A and B are shown apart, each in its own frame.
Chain A
């Protein structure tokens, strides 16, 4: 699955335009708790979350995130979007809930990341 497929499946909007939509998304993880997300140290991971503060972007300095999808229509503040753009980390927002977004991607064949 590519990031473009994720955008289409989740009817998502890219939060800054330059992001590379052809990038491959191997697996995903969904959580609103930072320490849970930090369990994903084994492979590049798509993150689905409702957290929109700057620490979510800082997580991508520690572990390898392919992209972040903000669920429930959430959008971070501009300085957080800027932090993602500086790192070349694609960020998206979807109107769907965390449960529904995860279900759609799982149903389309995206697997859960190894923890």
Chain B
């Protein structure tokens, strides 16, 4: 089992407050992310962005949420055997989790290096595989956590404050 954690400057305390209080979400959304289905991939993130737009979230924060979510959704479609995207919208933040059914990330530190990619030819032909997915999620989020079991499931979650 490997774990990776990231907190943007100044957010660690706010994140641990949130995690220890475990408040109930105002709105919850769930989307399936099927393996290698690039017609569907990204729809969950589009719909999440539309919902947050209606709720009046600031447009720059909205773009950060959408990009982080989209990159993670594409990762699940491109690299896993499929999974699920769960979003929990709270008063002051959004918590998005991606849980896939494997096969796990061998070396998370390496996967975080900009430019490193294990994308196959199909995925690359579509314009993915720049090796910037995880770095882009990190860049746009206030906190991020990856837990992966080699040969098993990976969970990636991020928090972004409004």
Contacts and interface: CB of A to CB of B under 8 A. Distances in A.
Interface in A35-68: 35-36, 38-39, 41-42, 49, 51, 53-56, 58-59, 61-64
* Chief secondary structure at chain B's binding surface: helix
Interface stretch (B10-18, B63-71, B99-107, B142-150): B63-71
B161 interface: no
Contacts of A62: 42, 45-46, 49, 63, 66-67, 70
A33 B135 CA distance: 14
Contacts of A53: 38, 126-127
Interface residues of B, number: 27
A35 to B, nearest CB: 4
Given A35-B133, A35-B136, A41-B140, A61 B126 contact: no
Interface string B95-131: 0000000000000000000000000000000111111
Given A41-B140, A51-B127, A54-B38, A35 B45 contact: no
Contacts of B126: 34, 51, 53, 55
A33 B60 CA distance: 22
A113 to B, nearest CB: 13
Contacts of A54: 38-39
Contacts of B42: 55, 58, 61-62
Given A32-B127, A41-B67, A64-B63, 10 more contacts: A34-B126, A36-B132, A38-B67, A38-B71, A38-B136, A41-B64, A54-B38, A55-B127, A58-B70, A62-B67
Interface of A: 32-36, 38-39, 41-42, 49, 51, 53-56, 58-59, 61-64
26 contacts: A33-B127, A33-B129, A34-B126, A34-B127, A34-B128, A34-B130, A35-B128, A35-B136, A36-B130, A38-B67, A38-B70, A38-B136, A49-B127, A53-B38, A54-B39, A55-B42, A56-B127, A58-B42, A61-B42, A61-B46, A62-B66, A62-B67, A62-B70, A63-B63, A63-B67, A64-B63
